[in-house]
Amino acid sequence: MLPSLDEIRETFALLDSWEDRYRYVIDLGKDLDPLPDAARTEENKVRGCASQVWVETIRDETPDGLILHFRGDSDAHIVKGLVALILALYSGKTPQAILDTDALAVFSELGLAEHLTPQRSNGVRSMVERIRRDAAAAQG
């Protein structure tokens, strides 16, 4: 199970070097639940990522309203960790809460934005845009 965003922030604050933080992001990816082969579809593939990335959106109608859950995977270790971080940020929230959350600000706050290659930054933006599009569509 993935840690919460607050737990991720706390761990980042405890890690002194970027090498340790990088390793932690990779470890987050190892904590992702396996994505079933049936979810590795063209529809779930995220465009704009250099690595292969899949994000599946699961709609959960609750008495309190619609909640979106996400599952994801990548064929690259660091990208899989970034997927895990994004899922920790967005999964289990209402579409409006997703649209109100600025993932890029969180990446900046953690210092990740300045340590990602431009290509990986584009991939992160593509994942975030995909999740936000799904949230906007779920709102109707």
Q: 93-102: per-residue pLDDT in tens?
A: 999 999 999 9
Distance of alpha carbon 83 from alpha carbon 119, whole angstroms: 15
User: pLDDT tens-digit profile of 35-89?
Assistant: 999 999 999 999 987 889 999 999 999 998 999 999 999 999 999 999 999 999 9
Q: What pairs with residue 62 in β-bridges?
A: 65
Q: Model-level pTM?
A: 0.93
Residue 76, φ and ψ in degrees, nearest 5: -115, 135
Rounded Cα–Cα distance for residues 105 and 110 (Å): 9
Mean pLDDT of the chain: 93
105 and 113 Cβ atoms separated by less than 8 Å: no
Residues annotated as catalytic (active site), given as ranges: 49
3-state SS, residue 51: coil
| Structural domains in the chain plus CATH codes | 5-139 (3.90.1010.10)
How many angstroms separate the CA atoms of 54 and 51, rounded? Answer: 10
